[in-house]
Structure 1
């Protein structure tokens, strides 16, 4: 395999500055953990201008080159299998001691791509008409190890390296302007009235009473005019709600602006890990009230029961591709606090069995159990029946995968989708037999609080 060229950056530029320097290059992507804390905030990556782009819509896979020309189209195969083929053909040797993403594929898998794997029809209105899957094939990456306080540019050749270094130098020389503000308070609207939301929750409770399911995740989608650039919205969101799995991705005519706190699936050296979130309480202004809110969550029988159901779903998904007996729950329902909410989080691991890889794991598990329900397939059918619009990227995943099979991914929650001057974002929660519709509605507001604030701040 061909060795990548590695150039250590000194002084170390801020990842946001590097991402801003690449403005104008297509399919710019930024996996961002720099402003978060803890062991899940170690690495950040920026890439752009992929060699190829893989998209999928309603079962049709297309692969286009850097020039936009169609290289391949297929109506019969899973687009994830196309990614596997591309990865197997990439001539990149991993450099030891550097951050894990040194080139490979990166992008998103939408929620409906996952439900289609279970042959569940997408009933909701497809008003945004975006790809179900979109990945770039990247051979040049900026990478940061925040623990080691080091950063690198990793490129296939001197020409690519020089192009990016020159672009970075020009960015700093030109002293770019700050974030623009329109000064307008956004007019945010929902896909559901409060009455419609309550009726849907009641319908889910009736399905639970009838024995169809134990739990289903139900969401409402918000939308508003976007009076600023998606990048400015991202800068505001990361300032208000730093997250370990934040991401900014420009995918053709749309932009993904994400502050996800939740790892979906990670693979390192054949070891798979997932960290489902289920259970939420708001952060409070005073230390005493905040501690009481967290303690209430930890003591809640309802939230812990919901959480254990989802842990079982994820254990089952991992067991589909892991060595029998290797799937373990290392940490169960631990408290994890973020700027606007407290969560319950578990850590589940397993060893991929011989012949299985990161792609197999995604096929077995997308969409995630924490944002579907239990049993998973029936919950997805009920979600399709009751939610009036498609989820699109919401509750899908953002991921990078390397040629050696290393992968990390997030569940797409706390995320904006910007397209054609409008912005869309969703919030939901797990519904069980004793769910109170009004409390569930308020929980969606708590989860979306940082998004409302970021939209107002950027606007």
Structure 2
């Protein structure tokens, strides 16, 4: 009788635990459903209620300033082609990209430094950079991704990013978005494929048995997005240098797909032979003592042209296509990744107008209550 009573109590506790779990899970699902419904409404071009610099703003598919090099319709067709290539066994994952471009009277007096100052405020990043080459090429980069690091002890590591989710100003919703990203099957599959690719690349120059995955499916949160990041490391063979590491791993697998070389051939055709330029490349430093730290050039504005000519601002953006990818979601993700750069460019134009085209630091100005001068020490 005592045994029966104990079993009954255990059963009741188990049932209560299950019911409690179901209740909490139900709340989570309802919150995610509400969020998806809100996101879906933007696909029908409902008006946004948030400002252009609001980190929670849902990405829109239209911009008064920027236009895609390949139309959104063409991008969706390209995604379908990627699916066909995957189904036929030609590739596992393709990092399909496009570019947004702006070139009109508003961009004529703009330079990369103007955009970079805004990026440092609204989208600070650990691997950012500002570079100016003469008066015809400027780069404003706010990359969150490390391509390759080599330390003085011979340790080599990479932190590929695959998996992106928007942020929310509501802490509870933001936590759900982060958790949802971490447990998303599609994003984990994307990330794992690139992890395997990077392991293979590092294995070409590392000591046998030294390559390992330090962190898998880790979620890092930035000003405007959550990112799924994995960390892979190894120990360089004694006769291999930091430069050998670059040769083995470049270009970064997160910007190609897998298998790397074959997939790059398909991407060349899908992207109509257009060169990505600095985008998808790498910026960083290489020191004489065989130490280096390089980023992946993403979340970046490229400004070309002289001040007395029409300037062109170009933003590369894209995403990994796998068998689980939904075309509309991929298009939204592409725009989400570009959003901070679009916002920074528009803010830079507003500051220029406010200060009558002056470019000195004292004229950096304030937009929407935010200082546009650099305020973060996260950039390299």
With structure 2 as the length reference, what TM-score do the two structures score?
0.71
In the aligned structure 2, how far is the partner of 1:190 from the partner of 1:213?
A: 26
The equivalent position to 1:407 in structure 2, one of 282, 285, 292, is 292
Match of 2:140 among 240, 250, 257: 257
| Contact preservation (8 Å) 2:111, 2:303 | no
Distance in 1, matches of 2:112 and 2:229, equals 30
Matched, 1:309 2:187: no
Deviation at 1:387, TM superposition (A): 0.7
Partners in 1 of 2:205 and 2:164 — Cα distance? 30
Q: CA deviation at 1:399?
A: 2.1
Residue-by-residue CA offset, 1:326-361 (whole Å, 9 max, x unaligned): 111011110100111101111111111021111111
SS at match of 2:317: strand
**Of the candidates 238, 244, 252, which is equivalent to residue 368 of structure 1?**
252
Structure (1/2) with the larger strand percentage: 1
Q: Which runs of 5+ in 1 are unaligned?
A: 1-184
Q: 2: CA distance between counterparts of 1:198 and 1:217?
A: 14
Q: Contact 1:186–1:456 (CA<8 Å) still a contact in 2?
A: no
1:195 equivalenced with 2:73 (yes/no): yes
Corresponding residue for 1:240? 122
Check the 8 A contact 1:329/1:346 in 2, yes or no: yes
CA contact (8 A) 2:111 2:138 kept: no
Greater Rg by CA: 2
Q: Does the CA contact (< 8 Å) of 1:223 and 1:423 recur in 2?
A: yes
Alignment coverage as a number of residue pairs: 275
Q: CA deviation at 1:298?
A: 1.0
The higher-RCO structure (CA 8 Å, 6+ apart) is: 2
- Counterparts of residues 40-59 of structure 1 (less than 5 Å): none
8 Å CA contact 2:218, 2:228 repeated in 1:
yes
Cα distance in structure 2, aligned partners of 1:236 and 1:369 = 29
Q: Is the 8 A contact 2:101 2:315 kept in 1?
A: yes
Separation in structure 1 between the aligned mates of residue 120 and residue 315 of structure 2, nearest angstrom:
16
The structural deviation recorded for 1:443 is 0.3
Is 2:304 aligned against 1:419? Answer: yes
Matched, 1:289 2:173: yes
Is 2:114 the counterpart of 1:229? no
**1:39 alignment counterpart:** none
Distance 2:111 2:133 in 1: 14
In the aligned structure 2, how far is the partner of 1:452 from the partner of 1:329? 34
Correspondence 1:429 to 2:319? yes
Give the CA RMSD over aligned residues: 1.1
Q: Does 1:268 align with 2:158?
A: no
- Is the 2:178–2:219 Cα contact (8 Å) retained in structure 1? yes
Higher helix share: 2
CA distance in 2, matches of 1:218, 1:209: 16
Match for residue 444 of structure 1 among 317, 330, 334: 334
* Residue pair 1:186, 1:224 contacting (<8 A) in 2 also: no
What is the CA–CA distance in structure 1 between the aligned matches of 2:291 and 2:213, rounded to whole Å?
21
**In structure 1, what is the equivalent of residue 282 of structure 2?**
397
Question: 1:256: Cα distance to partner?
Answer: 1.0
Distance in 2 (alpha carbons) for counterparts of 1:271 and 1:453: 38
The answer to whether the Cα contact below 8 Å between 1:272 and 1:350 also exists between their aligned partners in 2 is yes
Aligned to 1:358: 242
Q: CA deviation at 1:198?
A: 0.7
CA shift for structure 1 position 237: 1.1
C-alpha distance in 1 between matches for 2:164 and 2:301: 20
Please give the alpha-carbon distance, in whole angstroms, between the structure 2 residues aligned to 1:229 and 1:312: 39
C-alpha distance after superposition, 1:194-248 (max 9, x if no partner): 1101110000100000000110000110111324222111101111100000000
